[in-house]
Amino acid sequence: MTTTESSPFTITSESTGDEWELVVGLEVHCELATATKLFCSCPNAFGDEPNTNVCPVCLGLPGSLPVLNHHAVELAMRIGRALHCEVHPSVFARKNYFYPDMPKDYQVSQYDQPINVDGHLDLADGSRVGIERAHIEEDTGKNTHAGGGGRIHGADYSLVDYNRAGVPLVEIVGRPDIRTPDQAKAYVDELRAILLATGASDAKMEEGSMRVDANVSVRHVGDPTLGTRCEIKNLNSLRSLGRAIEYEARRQVELLESGERVLQETRHWDEEAGRTRPGRSKEEAEDYRYFQEPDLVPLRPAGDWVAAVDAALPTLPAARREALAAAAGVEPTDRGVVIAVDRALDGLAVAAIAAGADAGRVLNHVEHNLATEGAAALDPAHLAELVQLETGGQLTATQAKQVLADMVETGRPPADIAAERGFEAMDTSELAGVLDGIVAANPDAWADLLAAPDGDKRLKKLRGFFTGEVMKATKGQADGKEVNRLLEERRAAGS
Amino acid sequence: MVQRVLAAGAIPIGKTNLDEFAMGSSTENSAFGPTRNPRDHERVPGGSSGGSAAAVAAGFAPIALGSDTGGSIRQPAALCGVVGVKPTYGLVSRYGLVAFASSLDQIGPFANTVADAALLLEVVAGHDPLDSTSIPAPAPSLTSVLDEGVAGLRVGLITELLGDGIAPDVAARVRAAADALAAAGAEVGEASVPAASYGLSAYYLIAPAEASSNLARYDGVRYGLRVDGATTGEMMDASRTAGFGDEVKRRIMLGTYALSAGYYDAYYGKALKVRTLILRDFAAAYERFDVLLSPTSPTTAFRFGDKVDDPLAMYLNDVCTIPTNLAGHPAMSLPFGEGGDGLPVGVQLLAPAQGEDVMFRAAVVLEEAAR
């Protein structure tokens, strides 16, 4: 079997020559960034001592009743509207099944009447993924199984932490419009950016505040009907997502090619083994016995509430990337642009560029030197000034980095900080003297450098060595560009 | 709700007996043993809130509280000869009430007099932000309207609840009550609520369905009885098997079945439609009448063991009370004379949602007439 990485992603059978197409639909659960839980006033917090953020309601004690958190509804609507969904009158339903991490042995969710319906998400590559629905539901607690390899079967005992029980979730159900692993990753990445931009969720896959399940099936290229799908769980990173989808597609094609059938089942991704495994075998189909939650009333957000949500929606990441890319004269897919929007530093970058700073250097600083908290509060004029000092040769890259760190911390203008630190670019004659000393101290390396022809890969390494030594000797005060110029000058002279 | 009673100065003297999880019509399904009817110790007090009715009838307490999902306040009130009120759904907070069927459960008062019942209801009623189904309005004033009389009030006798299955001596007392109201100036006529005849069938799908979900939490994981098992599933299974009584298990199974894939539409879904029809029929009746009148229970108090092994016969006890629960309307039972066996007969007054005031006005007149 061979795989074509470029779009469209197809798997070609070596035996039959058949071409197979991948079909993926993603279900994304995200925890909403509310202060309290969905139906009670317990804190919605990650990582606290087990069973400390609990009360009669989220423990499901007899006699307790749920009261809907309105901020959760607001955040759910933000997600829905950012995904171009319609907000519908909705009702809550009970999803009934027994599991120890569920205090009531039912989950309050939305079933046949969800709040957000029928939207879409446009990806940077120009493709559009349909959104079937984005509904509100409560999270479950968390089980820890002691012994038996951490799985419930064969465990000596299990511990349950109910801090997460009742945390508000929105489940975003995407349509099966995704055709490549990369597209799946781009979709999740974009969704994450939207969740962050709207403030609806902190969307951390590693902490589980954003959880992705992938429904994967394959079909012959050109076949309009969908194949039997498997639901892949335990995808804790974008990398896992891409690998799992690709593995699963190949597994299904192999099955079908050998005349077998794909079983509709839940499968777990094993990152270490690089494969999916069948989940707990289900002897019979799950029957959740959904019915309308009688302890809650129907949810009918008023038109002016929806309008207020719309009005307060921030400019979404795609539009922000386009704006920054236009200002910087690069593509919206440029790494620096993507990172700037991700860190909410795109406004700063656009303003600094508008103030006359070199766009490349601005994006470079955003990517490498501004991962710190408080960076967004930088005065764009100060950032522009810093970049101008740099491009004007008054500051080296290393000095600029230090001054920038100071600027973030103190909010003072770069000229003041540079003067106070005594930063000024080193005199060329002084720098040449330093290089002389280093060449003299490393005769073998210098001979190697002179002997290396242009384009030799050792040349880059050797240049790096000498530049590094000069930086070390000058405690980073030397201008890297100037050092390179001097090195090239001496190399050309052959001495 | 309890806090409101305490804040009003009431002194709690005890917890009263009831059928397990309020499931029963005779208080025979209690882990504490049965409660006897103070009017005749060989007979049941009704149920499920039989303990509260008996405590008031026996004079242990002047007032008591109970819960009414399908008649569990009104039927024992009738069988013990006291006043019992099921308020409009949402008038009294359900926060703290162990849920049986959430869309039907309502707390209400027992008392020896209509005035005492009005007083207790005024205290416990009113909006509670902890119950999302609580009516967002202050408690109605009831004690102030008690002596307003029934002159000009339109009273409808529910024809469907006076025919087959209703003991003739009980039906006779209901007709006598209608006469008493007419004598006091009310306009009495015959009212029809056709869908009421399907109430019992709909109720025994909706209430068990909700109960099957509400009672799932008693799984041995967090609190209560736990019987160990080799796996979590076996532990839950063993704990529930040991912990629940027969009637509770019967209803959990009924409800689970009614909600199951492939059966939902035929059972639970259809029951919801009947519920809508009942609401529609009541709405039509209340266009012509201010209050409705019917028996509370088809018979007077029956003997221990008479029906406990025949679930269907037991369920039929609630045929007159159930339609109001499905509609969410208020209704009350008050004693109006005796049956052929010398035991108390209760008549039921029904009113539209939040119509407690007219209901209590008619009740006072009947109470006076029964003296």
Suggest the residue from A159, A289, A292, A299 to mutate for an interface test with chain B (most B CBs closer than 10 A).
Answer: A289
Name every chain A residue with its beta carbon within 8 A of the beta carbon of B257. Answer: none
Give me the pLDDT at residue A5, please. 45
Name every chain B residue with its beta carbon within 8 A of the beta carbon of A296. Answer: 132-133
Torsion B159-B161-B166-B168 (CA) sign:
negative
Average pLDDT in the B141-156 region? Answer: 97
Mean pLDDT of chain B: 96
A125 near A66, Cβ under 8 Å? no
Give per-residue burial for A73-102: e unless 16+ CB within 10 Å, then b. bbbbbbbbbbbebebbebbbbbbbebbbbb
Percentage of residues in chain A having pLDDT higher than 70 = 95
Average pLDDT in the B32-40 region? Answer: 97
A6 near A39, Cβ under 8 Å? no
- Cis status of the peptide bond prior to B295, with omega within 30 of 0: no
CA distances from B74 to B66, B71, B95, B318, B324 (A): 10, 5, 21, 9, 11
**pLDDT per residue over B66-91, tens digit each?**
999 999 999 999 999 999 999 999 99
pLDDT at A456 over 90: no
**pLDDT per residue over A61-92, tens digit each?**
999 999 999 999 999 999 999 999 999 999 99
Average pLDDT in the A366-392 region? Answer: 89
Interface check for B217 against chain A (CB to CB < 8 A): the answer is: yes
Structure letter (DSSP) for residue B327: H
Interface check for B132 against chain A (CB to CB < 8 A): the answer is: yes
Which residues of A271-364 form beta strands (DSSP E)?
A: 275-278, 291-292
A174 near A130, Cβ under 8 Å? yes
Average pLDDT in the A461-484 region? Answer: 82
**Nearest chain A alpha carbon to B263:** A289
Give me the pLDDT at residue A8, please. 62
Across the interface, whether the CB atoms of B236 and A160 are under 8 A apart is answered no
Rounded distance between C-alpha atoms, residue B84 and residue B348, angstroms: 10
Across the interface, whether the CB atoms of A100 and B95 are under 8 A apart is answered no
What part of B 182-211 touches A (C-beta under 8 Å)? Answer: 209-210
pLDDT at A7 over 60: no
**Nearest chain B alpha carbon to A68:** B132
Residues near A397 by beta carbon (within 8 Å), at least 6 away in sequence: A390, A479, A480
Pull the structure tokens for residue B307.
């029906």
**Nearest chain A alpha carbon to B209:** A291
pLDDT at A333 over 90: no
Rounded distance between C-alpha atoms, residue A486 and residue A432, angstroms: 7
Give me the pLDDT at residue A283, please. 45
Scan for tokens 């006699």, then name that residue: A63
Give me the pLDDT at residue A425, please. 62
pLDDT at B102 over 80: yes
SS3 B157: strand
Give me the pLDDT at residue A285, please. 60
Q: Tally helices (H) and strands (E) across chain A.
A: 15, 16
Rounded distance between C-alpha atoms, residue A208 and residue A192, angstroms: 13
Give me the pLDDT at residue A146, please. 81
CA distances from B292 to A454, A458, B174, B303, B323 (A): 104, 100, 11, 30, 12
CA distances from A223 to A22, A227, A229, B179 (A): 11, 9, 15, 78
Better pLDDT: A306 or A462: A306
Torsion A447-A448-A452-A458 (CA) sign:
negative
Residues near A400 by beta carbon (within 8 Å), at least 6 away in sequence: A365, A386, A387, A389, A390
Mean pLDDT of chain A: 90
* Partner residues linked to B335 by β-bridges: B346
Rounded distance between C-alpha atoms, residue A149 and residue A145, angstroms: 8
Q: For residue A134, give how far its alpha carbon lies from the nearest alpha carbon of chain B (Å).
A: 23
Give me the pLDDT at residue A460, please. 82
Torsion A482-A483-A484-A486 (CA) sign:
positive
Rounded distance between C-alpha atoms, residue A299 and residue A277, angstroms: 40
Scan for tokens 């335990």, then name that residue: A234
Name every chain A residue with its beta carbon within 8 A of the beta carbon of B210. Answer: 291, 294
pTM equals 0.84
pLDDT at A6 over 50: no
Choose among B211, B208, B219: nearest CA to B243: B219
Choose among B346, B352, B288, B327: nearest CA to B155: B288
B47 near B27, Cβ under 8 Å? yes
pLDDT at B200 over 60: yes
Average pLDDT in the B222-251 region? Answer: 95
Specify the length of chain A in residues: 495
Across the interface, whether the CB atoms of A297 and B132 are under 8 A apart is answered yes
Amino acid symbol at A273: A
Rounded distance between C-alpha atoms, residue A125 and residue A115, angstroms: 29
Rounded distance between C-alpha atoms, residue A8 and residue A22, angstroms: 9
Rounded distance between C-alpha atoms, residue B46 and residue A116, angstroms: 48
Average pLDDT in the A259-275 region? Answer: 93
Interface check for B271 against chain A (CB to CB < 8 A): the answer is: no
CA angle B125, B126, B128 (to 5 degrees): 115
pLDDT bracket for residue A2 (50, 70, 90): low
**pLDDT per residue over A138-189, tens digit each?**
999 998 888 766 666 677 888 999 999 999 999 999 999 999 999 999 999 9
